[in-house]
Every structure is written in C-alpha cells, then in structure tokens.
Amino acid sequence: MRFFFLATSILLMISCNNNPCSNPGKGENFILSDASKSYLLQYENADTIIFIDKSGNEVPFSVSGIEDFTSEYQFSGICQNDPSRNQTFIGSSQVIQLFLSNPSEISEPLYVTLSELPAPPDNNNVKETLDITLGDLFSNDKHRFAH
C-alpha cells in the first residue's frame, strides 16, 4: 500500500509539471518603426530643447543623453494548449529614451521614452507608446544596451 501511495504521488507531481500552460511562452520581439524612431532621434545631436509654459515663457532643458536598448516584457494571455487557462508570455521590445534636465525647474531629469509593447488581449494591434516620466521608468532593467 505504501508503494502504491508513493507511486501515485510521484505520478501526480510529474503530470503537474508537464502542464504546458505553466511554462512561459515565447512572446514577440518588437522593433520600433522608422517613423516612430524619428520622433526622438531628431534630438540626438541637440544640446537644448525649449518648451513654452502657459505664460509663454521659454523653459530650456538640456539634452543629457539618448539610449536605444532592448527591454524584456511579460504579459498574461490565453494558453494555446488549453484556452480555459492563462499563460505568461515573455518577449522583448526596443526602447529609446531621451534624457532632459533643468535643475533650476525640477530636481530629477525627465525621461522621454518610446517603446512598443503588445496590445491588450482584446485588441490585436501592436502599441507604440511615448511616455514622459520624472525619473527612470526602466530603472530595474538589467538588460540595457547604450548605442
């Protein structure tokens, strides 16, 4: 009886580990379109970008750098082997970040980030986004490649 229980337990553990939905699936690797890249790359050789505030005053920001790197993303989607379950998918996305600073206006640099990520499950289109953040959106990213 003890052997039967042990054999059944091992069989159950092995069958649970063979569930393809529990293993991450391969997501797409996204590369930004040339049209999208041109929005940020036109500032690559600039020293200063000037914004106009609500009062019409010029507010200069120094361009302190630009990076083009690949970042990993994860999302949950429907498992192809079992549509009643979800599965994690892992892929990569090209990201371009422009760094702007003006210490007299704000203490941290502005990060202008252009990236492409998969669209939500109810939309089959790819989503390119332009985000402006105070501080680095990708500060925990281990895979960063500067060009």
Q: Tens of pLDDT along 10-45?
A: 555 555 556 888 889 888 888 998 988 998 888 888
The whole-angstrom separation of Cα 133 and Cα 147 is: 21
**17, containing H or E segment:** helix 2-17
Which class for 109: exposed (0-12), middle (13-18), buried (19 or more C-beta within 10 A)? buried
The whole-angstrom separation of Cα 137 and Cα 147 is: 19
Residue 60 has pLDDT above 80, yes or no: yes
The per-type count for the chain, helices as H runs and strands as E runs, is 2, 6
Query: What percentage of the chain reaches a pLDDT higher than 70?
Result: 74
Quick one: pLDDT at residue 51? 92
Mean pLDDT of the chain: 80
